Amino acid sequence: MALLAFILGWVSEMVKTLTILFVLLITSAVQAQALAIRTTETECTPTGCRQLIGTGACAYVGDIENRSVFLTAAHNVNQARTIHVGYNGQWWEAVVKYREYSGSADYAIIETVRIPAKICFEVSNRIPQDGSAATAYGYSQGIYNLRSLKARIRIRNGGGYFTKIVEKGDSGGPILVNGEVVGIIKGHDYRETVYTDSVRIRRKLISVYGRIPCCGCETPAIADQGAVKPDPDPSSSTDLTSLQDEVTRLKAEIDKLNKTQIPVWIVDADGKPVAKQTYPLGDPIKLRFKAVKQSEAK
C-alpha cells in the first residue's frame, strides 16, 4: 500500500509539473504576440510644457520585408512624439504607417525594424458568431505583466462587443476567437468593451502592403532592375485558352453524367416487366429477392 501511495503521489506531482510547463509555454507564446507599447507626448500650457508617458497594448501580426507590423488603438498614438514596442526585454522604436480614428474605427498600423520573433497573430477575415468565446489581452496591470480576460462576443447594431470591461492600459490589445484576432480593443461603454473588427483592419493591411504580413517569412529577393526580361511566348496564351475551353467542356460532360438516370426493369417469373425503377449513375442498384418454398417453386 505504501508503494502504491508513493507511485500515485509521484504521478500527481508529474501531472502538476507538466501542467505548469504547458501554461508557461502558452503564456510565452502569447507574450511574443501581445506586446506592450509606450508613448511620449508633450503637453504645453501658458506656464510651460511637460512630457507625458502613456502605455497600452498591441498585437504583432507579422513581417513585411525588413519591418515588423503591429496593430494597436489609434488613440494610443494620435498625439505621440515617440512610440516604442516592448519585445524580448527591449524597447523597439516604432512609426505609424496608418491610423483611423473616426466613428466605430479606432486602430493604427505601426512598424518597427524587424524583430527576431517567429510567432505572430493571424488577423481573422470573418466576423465571429454572436456568443463566441473570446479572450482579450492587455497591459492594465503594468507593462511587464500581460493580462488576459475571458468573455463572450456580442454582435449587434453592426458592431462587435466583448462582454467584460477592460481597463486603462488594455487599449490596443487583441481580442481572440479560436486563436485569431477578431478585434483591437478601443475602450468600453461602462458595460462592455468596444473594439474595431478585424475584417476592416485586414482590408486596410492588404491596401497598405498589397498582402497580409507573414510570420517568420523570408525577405523576398530584389530582382535585378537592369536585367532584360524575355518576351512572353505568344503560343502560351493560345494554349491557355484551349485549356480553359477543354475544362469548360469537361465540366459540362460531368454535369450531364451527374444527371444521368439508369433504368432498371423488374420482371416476373415469365420474363414480363412489372415495374421500372431508375437510379442515378454511380449509385448502387438495390435488388430484393423473395424467398420461395421449394414446393411453391415447382
Per-residue pLDDT tens, the chain, 298 aa: give them. Answer: 554 454 445 545 554 444 433 333 434 456 569 999 999 998 888 998 899 999 999 999 999 999 999 999 999 999 999 999 999 889 999 999 999 998 889 999 999 999 998 889 999 999 999 999 999 999 988 877 888 999 999 998 878 999 999 999 999 999 999 999 999 999 998 999 999 999 999 999 999 999 999 987 765 444 444 444 444 444 444 455 666 666 677 667 777 767 777 777 676 777 777 777 777 766 666 666 565 555 555 5
Q: Please check whether residue 177 lies inside any domain of the structure.
A: yes
C-alpha torsion sign, points 203, 209, 212, 215 = negative
Check whether residue 111 and residue 169 sit in a common domain. Answer: yes
Same domain, 186 and 68: yes
Residue 216 lies in a domain: no
The total domain count for the chain is 2
DSSP structure class, residue 262: E
Phi, psi of 268 (to 5 degrees): -90, -170
Write out the residue range of the structural domain in which residue 61 sits. Answer: 31-43+51-209
CATH assignment at residue 61:
2.40.10.120
Alpha-carbon dihedral of residues 28, 205, 210, 217, nearest 10 degrees?
Answer: 0
**pTM, whole model, 2 decimals?**
0.64
- The verdict on residue 79 lying in a domain is yes
Where do runs of H (alpha helix) occur along the chain? 2-31, 74-77, 198-209, 234-258, 294-297
Q: Which three cell numbers stand for residue 133?
A: 468565446
